[in-house]
Structure 1
Amino acid sequence: MPRIVFLGAGSVVFTRQLLNDLLRFDDLPTLTIVLHDIDADRLAVAEGTARHVARRRGRELDLEATADRRAALAGADFVVNMIQVGGVAATKVDLEIPASHGLLQTIGDTTGVGGVFRALRTFPVLTGIAHDMQELCPDAWFLNYTNPMAMNVWWMSVVAPDIKTLGLCHSVYWTVNDLCDLVGVPLEETHHRAAGVNHQSWLYEWSHNGEDLYPRLRALIDSDPELQRRVRAEIFRRIGFYPTETSEHSSEYLSWFLRDPAQIERFRIEPLQYIGISDDNVAEFHAAREALDAGTDLELDDGAAEYAPQVIHSILTGTERVIHANVVNTGLIDNLPQGSVVEVPALVNAEGVHPIAVGSIAEQGAALNRTYLSVAGLTIEAVKRGDPELVRQAVLVDPNASSTLTPAQIWTLCDDLTAAHAVYLPVALGGTLEQETVPA
């Protein structure tokens, strides 16, 4: 039986969605699903959720739940990663400490100072996972959902280039879904392709029966003052291509918005939004636990269409499909740095995942992508070299941080975040974690 391991399965709502999507495929064999989490309470709820979804879908599962990561990984065919190192508490620190210094973020998990420090917390754990996989399941696919996506996939390419790593995110799908609703065409009748970096890819093809849909979108935005008050609409108007992440998240990739209260008001941005989202996620966990204890049904969403179940289904059954995936840039996008991690279309079939080379993307979009990849690349180098100055230089390159704070303020902010996250950070970077992060 195919063995599918969920790392960080205590993210029970996401685990529920992935399992629901997976078990909707009626041509899959009986699966061995292995749930792993370091939180016993969350792991128990994840196990109850898995049994509930299997019952609702009328499917048999060989189900295991364990706090032992190595036991979970032994013999795995697919490893789905959705860990959050430090949990909600660390996520709030990534937003609240910068805000106390005057630096606003909205989500803070992918780019900027929040993304950098989330990466620094996550890399040591990824290194351990990679080493375990090399020993226990060297042929398994590592399907990563954990942010910062580009940095984490890039780090895996550093510590375990032999592991088949794929970064998966639903941003492209939901962007096109929402745009199709806006212009009034069925999503399933459209052709769409995007490329760039995760959370800042550019929709370079979007058509319906051969008709380019961008003119319709431009006309709608030009005629609607309220649409013009959305961050993504502004980026589209200035850059010429639509970005593939929400307006709130897109705002923190650039210097244009969060440094200025007038811009925050004009574009209806909610700073520190992810604190509320994190609290909602905790509330959803408690609601799921209460529902399982009471024997009532959990809500199952049949419209999410997550990529990991599709990848697993295609590899196991040979069904061909095209998704968008985050992979190392090996000639896939000509005008982004080779060896960095980019988001491109990819064909998935029984032989695996085959990223599609797209050539050069629009130079104005690539210019913005290169800024983020510079932040990511400096973060990677900081951990490889054990150099805390490079951490601060990575944040200095970030457009949002550098447009708000002086260099001296950025250094002080990074000192404060290092102290707050010390238990998760390597000793070489000012933390207390005595763990090798790069193979000798």
Structure 2
Amino acid sequence: MKPTIVIIGAGSVEFTRELLGDIFSFPELGAVRVVLHDINTERLETAEAIAHATARETGATPEVVVSPDRRRALEGAHYVINVIAVGMHEATVRDFDIPARFGLHQTIGDTIGIGGIFRGLRTFPVLAGIARDMQDVCPDAWLLNYTNPMAMNVTFLRRVAPELKVLGLCHSVYWTMMGLCEIVGVPYDEVSYWSAGVNHQAWVLKWERGGQDLYPLLDQRIAADPELRRRVRVDMYRRLGYYPTETSEHSSEYVPWYLHHPGEIDRLRINVGEYVAISEANLAEYALVRAELAQSQTLGDGLDTAGGSTEYAPQVIHSLETGTLRVISANVANDGLITNLPDGLAVEVPTVLDALGAHPMKVGDLPPQCAALNRNFLGPVDLTVRAAVDGDPRLVRAAAMVDPNTAATLTVDEIWQLCDELTAAHGELLPAALRTPPTKEQLS
């Protein structure tokens, strides 16, 4: 029986194109059943056109089904890929504009920080609904989550639906290693590496070519290039000894050291508010692709499938369907995998894929300085999830108070006022119990 792959939030042009292109690049997956779901009917029509155009360009012959009904879309699913963005561009703008009035700088705002907290809070109700539907109509399916905030979403799913098979997937480790290999002039296919931590703040613990440590070569490149030293994660690497696995813009938000110092923003060339421009570009890309499809039913720039899959979800599906052995980085609840991080919260670890499933690997202790930063990262994750599960609006404020960048920039009164304003701005997108600020009795 051919596998059924459901994409929830299929109206995302970027993810739908890339995921389907990678899936169809595997000959064994060329005839899969693909079910596309989105709450926006226009975007769903565009996703269907993208699927057919991608199939033609790759020579695949999938069965493509569309459904605006999520529960019906999930019936009989083997794999569910989640790429939703609750609130879309308008919510993203609110997450940036309101904190900016308080003097709080953000770059991406989708992981922790005030933007990540409220993105998580408006995503959780939809995740809970997906989990309930899957438990009813496809309880054995794998939920492959791409939606940020990754660590919060994977932790939330563990709390509300512990029996679901969940992998959080992000390409940050892959592209970090590609970039590092380019810096030192070593082909990616010739290296081996080992990374672990939390999503967007994992650490390259080993990086070798033929048994030779490549970190000394990176040190030489950094010493010879002053401009390379003007990047946040290079600065972090030089001080901590391990390279972080997300971009400098992302990395700057997860620590208290950079974004509230104008001199550091200049020294390290930090692009404050970058994600708003990215979100606007995504809207423009959607409009362009929709227009191309309406005119010619083809994707103008085509798809490069010659190099095989680079996204993790297609690799997961291919390995589980064919037994092909792979190791990827995946986000799962910490069940003793990283021994100096809290159990039950999401961590990112090497994960073996084969015909029997996905097998997260035990890492043991992280270097103490790396674990200390990861524990700071996980504070807002834990408190935001607890706020939603317990229905406690005070824990939303606590999550913001322990967030490294927010706490380094604002007073506690400002943090509470900011949370009140964001709560009012997002309104019904948030869990019902969190729409009302804490009472005076809770403050006494």
User: Letter of the aligned partner of 2:323 in structure 1?
Assistant: G
Taking a change above 3 Å as real, the CA distance of residues 301 and 257 of structure 1, as seen in their structure-2 partners, is farther
Q: What is the CA–CA distance in structure 2 between the aligned matches of 1:162 and 1:30, rounded to whole Å?
A: 29
Match of residue 232 from structure 2 = 231
Instruction: State the 1:192 CA deviation.
Output: 1.0
Question: Hey, what does 1:357 align to over in structure 2?
Answer: 362
- The aligned amino acid for 1:178 is G
Deviations, residues 122-174 of structure 1 (Å, cap 9, x unaligned): 00111011000000000000000000001001111111111100000000000
- Asked if the contact 2:24/2:30 (under 8 Å) is kept, the reply is no
Distance 1:231 1:71 in 2: 45
What's the TM-score, normalizing by structure 1? 0.97
Structure 1 segment 216-295 matched on structure 2, within 5 A:
216-295=217-296
Contact 1:382 1:391 in 2 (8 A): yes
- Contact map agreement 1:425 1:431 (CA 8 A) in 2: no
Matched residue pairs, number? 432
Q: The residue matched to 1:343 in structure 2 has which SS?
A: strand
The aligned counterpart of 1:392 is 397
- CA apart distance, 1:223: 2.0
Number of the residue aligned with 2:299? 297
CA shift for structure 1 position 266: 0.6
Secondary structure in 1 matching 2:196: strand
Report the residue type matching 2:413 in the other structure: A
CA displacement 1:246-281 (0-9 Å, x = unmatched): 001100001111001111011000111000000011
1:270-304 Cα shifts (integer Å, max 9, x gaps): 11100000001111101111111121433314356
CA contact (8 A) 1:423 1:431 kept: no
Output aligned runs, 1:46-195, within 5 Å: 46-195=47-196
Alignment check: 8 A CA contact 2:152 2:381 kept: yes
Over the residues paired in the alignment, what is the CA RMSD in angstroms?
1.1
Q: Any gaps of 5 or more consecutive residues in structure 1?
A: 433-440
| Distance in 1, Cα, partners of 2:18 & 2:119 | 24
* Equivalent in the alignment of 2:328: 323
Secondary structure of 2:192's match?
Answer: strand
Paired residues of 1:17 and 1:301 also in contact (CA < 8 A): no
- Regions of 4+ moved over 2 Å: 296-299, 301-304
> Is 1:421–1:431's contact at 8 Å kept on the other side of the alignment?
no
In structure 2, distance between residues paired with 1:430 and 1:50: 38
* Other-structure match for 2:204: 203
CA contact (8 A) 1:197 1:341 kept: yes
Q: By how many angstroms is 1:193 displaced?
A: 1.3
What is the alpha-carbon distance in structure 2 between the residues aligned to residue 289 and residue 247 of structure 1? Answer: 32
What amino acid does structure 2 have at the position aligned with 1:133? M
SS class of match (2:181) = helix
What is the CA-CA distance between 1:350 and the residue it aligns to?
Answer: 0.6
Aligned to 2:414: 409
Q: Would you say the 8 A contact 1:79–1:140 is kept in 2?
A: yes
Q: Give the TM-score normalised by the residue count of structure 2.
A: 0.96
Query: 2 CA distance for matches of 1:331 and 1:29?
Result: 38
In 1, distance between residues paired with 2:109 and 2:32?
35
Q: Percent identity?
A: 56
* Distance in 1 of aligned mates of 2:373 and 2:153: 20
1:51-89 CA-partner distances (Å, limit 9, x unpaired)? 000011111111111110011001100000000000111
SS in 1 for 2:29: coil
Aligned to 2:24: 23
Distance in 2 (alpha carbons) for counterparts of 1:201 and 1:386: 30
Deviation of 1:29 (Å): 5.8
Kept after mapping to 2: 8 A contact 1:112/1:398: yes
Verify the 8 A CA contact 1:346 1:356 in the aligned structure 2.
yes
CA distance in 1, matches of 2:431, 2:294: 40
Equivalent position amino acid for 2:181 in 1: C
Provide closer, same or farther for how the CA distance between residues 431 and 283 of structure 1 changes in structure 2, counting only shifts above 3 A. farther
Check if 1:428 corresponds to 2:430.
no
The partner residue of 1:339 within 322, 329, 344 is 344
Please give the alpha-carbon distance, in whole angstroms, between the structure 2 residues aligned to 1:11 and 1:27. 25
Distance 1:408 1:77 in 2: 48
CA apart distance, 1:381? 1.1
Q: Secondary structure of the residue that 1:227 maps to in structure 2?
A: coil
